[in-house]
A and B are shown apart, each in its own frame.
Chain A
Amino acid sequence: MVSLVRQYFFSWVIVGLLVGLTGCATAPPRGPVPAPEPATVSQKNVVVALLDQAQGEHRRGDTARAAASLERALRIEPRNPVIWHRLARLRMEQGDYAQAQSLAAKSNALAPTDAQLRSQNWQLIGEARRRSGDRRGAEEAFARAQSVLEP
């Protein structure tokens, strides 16, 4: 239970950060605030433990180690779109916008039916594009972040 709360916490911190940052820009079309990730990111204890560990490292400001832990989780579950999404967020924080976009796209490719996660990925892609100066691309991505949530 504690780990779940931590997971939520992590998600919300990042989401909040993203929303705050997008707010600073000249109001690009934005989707609704993405819902937190599904409670069970993985059926495997080991992956949950590694994601917990990554969150702890991230909280302590050690992004390099947090990334290493996420990569470790990906070695165990390479087709888990949530892990790819988290790595994308981390790269975003590290200022690597190209990787943030690619990793979010990878997450999308593995989550064809998870509308929430897809929306978050598009949101992230939009933000990465905006920060790297691709305003039109950003708008497109934000639009998709919204449209994937529509039934």
Chain B
Amino acid sequence: MARRTKAKKKTAARRPKRAARGRRRTKARNTRKFLLFALFWLLLAAVAAVVYLDRAVQTKFEGKRWALPAHIYARPLELYEGLRLNAHELAAELEALGYRSAADTGRPATYRRRGGEFHITSRSFRFWDGEQAARRFVVRLDDQHVSALRAQDDRGALPLARLEPLLIGSIHPAHHEDRTLVRVDDVPENLISALLAIEDRNFYRHFGVDPRGLARALWTNLRARRAVQGGSTLTQQLVKNFYLTSERTLRRKLIELVMALSLEAHYQKDEILEAYLNEIYLGQRGNRAIHGFGLASQFYFGRPLQELELHELALLVGMIKGPSYYNPRRNPERALARRNLVLEEMVAQGFVAEADVAKARERPLGVTTQALTQKTAHTAFVDFVRRQLQRDYREEDLRSEGLQIFTTLDPRVQHAAEHAVRSRLTALEGQRGLPADSLQAAAVVTTTDNGEVLAIVGGRDQTGGGFNRALDARRAIGSLAKPAVYLTALQRPNRFTVLSAVDDSPLVWKERGAPPWEPQNFDQRSHGDVPLREALIHSYNIATARLGLQVGVTDVIDTFRRLGIEQDLPPFASVMLGAVGITPVEVAQMYQTLASGGFRVPLRAIRAVLTVDGAPLQRYPLAVEQAAAPGPVYLLSTILQDVARTGTAAALPKLLSPELNIAGKTGTSDEFRDSWFAGYTGDLVAVVWVGRDDNKPVGLTGAGGAMRVWSDMMRRVRPTPLLLTPPADVQTVWVDAETGLLAAPECAGAVEVAFIKGSAPTQSSDCVPPTASPDRLRRWFKKWFR
């Protein structure tokens, strides 16, 4: 205003000067010329801008259509008669998969439970070995086992029923978006109807913008005195979603307009709609945005979009307007009102019958109580999977090609492990007066013979990801190293048997490149000559060191390598007592080899990878390598079973059932910085580490810390007993406990001991035929086998 007055004054001042007229005309011409010139450039700029925006929106659209995260699945639950499973666990699995308890199990993903009997209708699912149709079957669970399995439609027994696997994670594009792609042809019709009714009823008729729709929306909203309808078309909303800001400026509106028109010019309506369905922002989980109806359906209802009913679809559509404002978990009343509004609009526009809506309106929101945790948990396991994948795939393919990755994770075992770590660490801190949250832990569980990784715990807090101790924490393994020494010795049956005398007298060892080494026993005592097996059962350091030096450090290190320790170990004698940092997952590999009788199976977390269309891309087959002869490994396992009966892990049978015959080894590093336990049952191998991240002492032995976590975990998992099969070259003989000489079973104090054939004692004790036995030997054995 002020400026205009000033300008008027100026013109007024000029008026009398007629001489200036010619100049003025020239000036006007100049101005016109300038304006034309400016207009030209402006137009050019506008054209350039349009061309630019056109290209930009196309690039964005194409990019959006194909950036699909890889999806990672747990193992599918295979049901068969005899499977160890209880009703609680089966119900948990079904819940996690989003199955609904229903009286009528006609629809997929429903079940009916009566006591231990489950009627289940599964979903169809494309596995690595082909499509599996939805099927109806009945499972009976009795006494912690599947006692019967049959197809529902016939009376015949069904040998095997496989549930689809649980989605446990995704490998996302870099910008923290998550997505479960849906195809426009596959989504429920009611979803599209609801969408058109509330957001853009002219979608199939307009050209990207809808002036009539805008006017109607304004009118409707004015009349209702609240925002009922949105003015922008789906196309405009899609464009807006491409750019994550919600800036509301004229410039942004113009850009949106141009882009919307451009999209419509280049693509079919259904392509735009499909992009919209997969792109629209529908909520937030932590720092991860929920985009698209596919994922939103999982996020809010725990079920795939195809299974949602009218009222649930209406809720999702209603949330578009403000996913946070209408968040059904936080603002259920608002969300309910909005949902019902969508339902009304659907009736008003003739998409659905009033009767159907009347029923839908009565339904509760139906959202799950919390966002599905399965995607945020298992971070340590998913991390392991990613690392295995990164060896075989490019990072960008993992993030964008929509690969389907089938893993070995067993959610039941994973939960048991996580729970054991969490609760036991808290309990230990309480009992030992340690500062809260000072302890950390890692755990790895694998199957014995197949080397499949069932669970990985990377720390006590699993939600945040962060440092994965199971894979990255290299901690001194202490006595967990010892079995390598004893195995090396037992592989020389002509020199060592389980009864060979090993010297436990004080030792000072000097070698070049390392300070003098003076191993001490835990009890600070020396035990003189001890039978080999006792030295391991009681974890004597000096005896083990001497035995290792006898067989040679290089040979022991070679045994480590064969058992599966991949890192280069320093060639020092102290390595034999575990003065070397090794990760829990590598320790698990070592004990897997021992547990499976010397057959190393490289630990696998992936079974197969499929393309987005379900075509098999890669299988990760079971591979086996014989790392040690079965005989010596068998002998070692029998000793490790005694560790968990009478040795350093003697408390274990009281914590778990003694019938499990667990083979295990405790490990405690210097000054109690690390507490380890590694052990195996008939079907599982598990390793647990407990310590502090800053490597300060925690004051826990292997048995006092890690073994507690281990046993808590196993109690929930219910493993099978370890029943060792003596290999063909092993013989079991009765020996006199006093002398170590052959005895008859009925002799007093006779014990059964395994030997590699040809290495068993040949002399008989006086119990069998009365022969003189040396008194010294008699006293020595008496001490150990009492």
CB closest chain-B residue, reference A72: B78
Contact A76 B449, beta carbon cutoff 8 Å: no
List 17 contacting pairs A-B, 8 Å CB cutoff, sorted by A.
Answer: A45-B81, A48-B159, A49-B160, A50-B159, A65-B129, A71-B450, A75-B450, A78-B450, A78-B683, A87-B622, A102-B624, A105-B626, A106-B626, A109-B630, A110-B725, A112-B725, A112-B730
Interface string of A93-124 (1 = CB under 8 A from B): 00000010011011011101100001000000
Give min CB distance, A126 to chain B, whole Å. Answer: 16
Contact of B78 among A65, A67, A76 (CB under 8 A): A76
Question: What chain B residues lie within 8 Å of A75 (beta carbons)?
Answer: 78, 447, 450, 452
Interchain CB contact under 8 A, A78 and B597: no
Chain A hits for B619, CB < 8 A: 64, 68
Q: How far is the CB of A41 from chain B (nearest CB, A)?
A: 14
Determine if B624 and A71 form an interchain contact, defined as CB atoms under 8 angstroms apart: no
Chain B residue contacts of A45, Cβ below 8 A: 80-81, 157, 159
The verdict on B625 contacting chain A, using a C-beta distance below 8 Å, is: yes
What residue in chain A is nearest B600 (Cβ atoms)? A102
User: Given A68-B129, A102-B626, A76–B597 Cβ distance below 8 Å?
Assistant: no
Residue-wise, chain A 59-92 has the 8 Å CB interface mask toward B (1 for contact) of 0000011011101101110110000000100000
Q: Is A46 an interface residue (CB 8 A)?
A: yes
The interface residues of chain B lying within 8 Å CB-to-CB of A69 are 129
* Cα–Cα, bound, A87→B727 (Å): 20
Find chain B residues with CB under 8 A from A109 CB: 597-599, 630, 725, 727
Q: Which residues of B contact A49 (CB under 8 A)?
A: 159-160
Please provide the 10 A-B residue pairs with the shortest distance between their CB atoms, ordered closest to farther: A49-B159, A46-B80, A78-B449, A109-B630, A112-B728, A102-B624, A46-B159, A45-B159, A46-B160, A109-B597
Whether the pair B624, A79 counts as a contact (CB closer than 8 A) is no
- Is B448 among interface residues, defined by CB-CB distance under 8 A? yes
Contacts A102-B599, A102-B625, A106-B599 given; indicate if A44 touches B81 (C-beta within 8 A): yes
Choice from A48, A87, A108, A112 contacting B726 with Cβ under 8 Å = A112
Beta-carbon contacts under 8 Å, B604-659 to A: 608, 616, 619, 621-626, 630
Q: In the assembled complex, which residues on chain A have CB atoms less than 8 Å from the CB atom of B83?
A: 76
Beyond the given A102-B599, A106-B626, A110-B597, could you list 4 further A-B residue pairs with CB under 8 A, ordered by the A residue number? A48-B159, A78-B683, A110-B725, A112-B725
Q: How many residues on chain A are close to B (CB under 8 Å)? A: 30
Q: Across the interface, which residues of A come within 8 angstroms of B129, CB to CB?
A: 65, 68-69
User: Which residues of chain A are within 8 angstroms of B81 by Cβ–Cβ distance?
Assistant: 44-46
Check B727–A112 contact: CB distance below 8 A. yes
Per the bound structure, the CA–CA distance linking A69 and B162 in Å amounts to 13
| Chain A nearest Cβ from B278, distance in angstroms | 32
Q: Closest A-chain residue to B452, C-beta based?
A: A75
Q: Collect the chain B residues with CB atoms within 8 Å of residue A87's CB.
A: 622
Question: Which residues of B are found within 8 Å of A76, using beta-carbon distances?
Answer: 78, 80, 83
For A74, the chain B residues whose CB sits under 8 A away are 449-450, 622
B52 to chain A minimum Cβ distance, whole angstroms, is 50
In the complex, B128 has a CB within 8 A of chain A = yes
Task: Report the Cα distance A15→B147, complex, angstroms.
Answer: 37
Taking a contact as CB atoms under 8 Å apart, the answer to whether B80 and A67 are in contact is no
Q: Is the C-beta of B82 less than 8 angstroms from some C-beta in chain A?
A: yes
B residues in contact with A102, CB < 8 Å: 599, 623-626
Q: What is the bound-complex CA distance between A76 and B597, given in angstroms?
A: 18
A49-B160, A72-B78, A74-B449 given as contacts; is B725 within 8 A of A79 (CB)?
yes
Point out the residues of chain A lying under 8 angstroms from B728, CB to CB: 108, 112-113, 118
Contact B80 A44 (CB under 8 A): yes
Chain A residues with CB under 8 A of B128: 68
CB A114 to nearest CB in B, in angstroms, measures: 10
Distance between Cα atoms of A112 and B621 in the complex (Å): 26
On whether the beta carbons of A103 and B449 are closer than 8 Å, the reply is no
Bound-complex Cα distance A50 to B160 (A): 9
Residues of the B chain whose Cβ atoms lie less than 8 Å from the Cβ of A44: 80-82
Task: Please indicate the chain A residues that have their CB under 8 angstroms from the CB of B82 in the complex.
Answer: 44, 46
What does the 1/0 interface line of B151-192 toward A look like (CB < 8 Å)?
Answer: 000000101100000000000000000000000000000000
Closest-by-CB residue of A relative to B82 is: A44
Within 8 A of A (CB), among B469-501: none
How many angstroms between the C-alpha atoms of A118 and B619 in the bound complex? 29
Q: Are B622 and A71 in contact (CB under 8 A)?
A: yes
Cα distance, A48 to B82, chains bound together (Å): 14
Whole-angstrom CA separation of A67 from B599 in the bound complex: 19
- Asked if A99 contacts B624 (CB within 8 A), the reply is yes
A49 to B725, CA, bound (A): 26
Considering only residues 23-48 of chain A, those with a C-beta below 8 Å from chain B are 44-46, 48
Q: How far is the CB of B85 from chain A (nearest CB, A)?
A: 13
- Closest B residue by C-beta to A94: B621
- Give the complex CA separation of A64 and B449 in angstroms: 20
Alpha-carbon separation in the docked complex, A113 to B728 (Å) = 7
Which residues on B sit within 8 Å (CB–CB) of A79?
A: 449, 682, 725
Smallest beta-carbon distance B609→chain A, Å = 13
* Complex CA–CA separation, A72 to B449 (angstroms): 13
Note all chain A residues with C-beta closer than 8 A to B623.
Answer: 99, 102
Given contacts A76-B78, A76-B80, A105-B626, contact A71 B725 (CB under 8 A): no
Contacts of A110 in B (CB 8 A): 597, 725
| Residues of A contacting B78 in the complex (Cβ-Cβ under 8 angstroms) | 72, 75-76
A79 to B595, CA, bound (A): 12
B:113-164 near A, CB below 8 Å: 128-130, 157, 159-160
* Complex alpha-carbon distance, A49 and B83, angstroms: 15
**Distance in angstroms between the alpha carbons of A44 and B619 in the assembled complex:** 26
**Cα of A46 to Cα of B78 in the assembled complex, Å:** 10
Residue of A nearest to B726 (CB): A112
Closest CB-CB distance, B724 to chain A, in whole Å? 10
Which residues of chain B from 683 to 736 have a CB within 8 Å of any chain A CB? 683, 725-728, 730
Chain B residues within 8 Å of A106, by CB = 449, 596-597, 599, 624, 626
Cβ contacts under 8 Å, B683 to chain A? 78
Given A102-B599, A106-B599, check contact A67 B447 (CB 8 Å). Answer: no
Q: Closest CB of chain A to B193's CB: distance in Å?
A: 42
A48 to B630, CA, bound (A): 27
List, in ascending order, chain B residues with CB within 8 A of A65's CB: 129-130
A71 and B599 within 8 A (CB): no
B521 to chain A, nearest CB (A): 35
- With A and B bound together, what is the CA distance between A103 and B599 in angstroms? 9
User: Which residues on B sit within 8 Å (CB–CB) of A50?
Assistant: 159-160
Q: How far is the CA of A100 from the CA of B7 in the complex (A)?
A: 97
Q: Which residue of B lies closest to A62 (CB)?
A: B129
Q: Which residue of A lies closest to B80 (CB)?
A: A46
A68 to B159, CA, bound (A): 17
B583-599 to A contact mask, C-beta < 8 Å, 1/0 = 00000000000001111
B438-462 contact mask (Cβ, 8 Å, vs A): 1 or 0: 0000000001111010000000000
Query: Which residues of chain A come closer than 8 Å to B726, judged between CB atoms?
Result: 112
Distance between Cα atoms of A112 and B723 in the complex (Å)? 14
Which residues of the partner chain A approach B725 to less than 8 Å between Cβ atoms? Answer: 79, 109-110, 112
Provide the bound-state CA to CA distance between A82 and B41, in Å: 83
Contacts of B447 in A (CB 8 A): 75, 78
A108 and chain B: residue at smallest CB distance:
B728
Which A residue's beta carbon lies closest to that of B596? A106
